[in-house]
Amino acid sequence: MSAPTPGKQLLHLVLGGELTHLGGTEFKDLDKVETVGVYPNYATAYTAWKAKAQQTVDNAHMRYFIVHLHRLLDPDSSPKP
């Protein structure tokens, strides 16, 4: 078990897979979508995202995303425009 993260925990999910279209966000095969992990802040999620994205740079249809879970879990805490 890892030590708690100082400050407010803002969970982020990194996931990815092959897309049906280059400009879209629809995955070609949901059974092959990879969950990279859940991270306590954006900085660590970004590091994981970047590493996975660089591993698949030769496949233009392969994309990884960072999902801001903290915004889904507590929508009232999201910044207002």
The pLDDT tens digits for 4-37 are 546 678 999 999 999 999 989 999 999 999 999 9
Secondary structure in 3-state letters for 2-57: CCCCCCCCCCEEEEEEEECCCCCCCECCHHHCEEEEEECCHHHHHHHHHHHHHHCC
Does 7 map to a domain?
A: no
Does 36 map to a domain?
A: yes
Does 1 map to a domain?
A: no
Q: What is the pTM of this model?
A: 0.79
Does 32 map to a domain?
A: yes
Task: Please report, for the domain that includes residue 27, its CATH number.
Answer: 3.30.70.2400
Average pLDDT over residues 30-52: 96
Task: Give me the number of domains the chain comprises.
Answer: 1
Domain that holds residue 19: 12-77
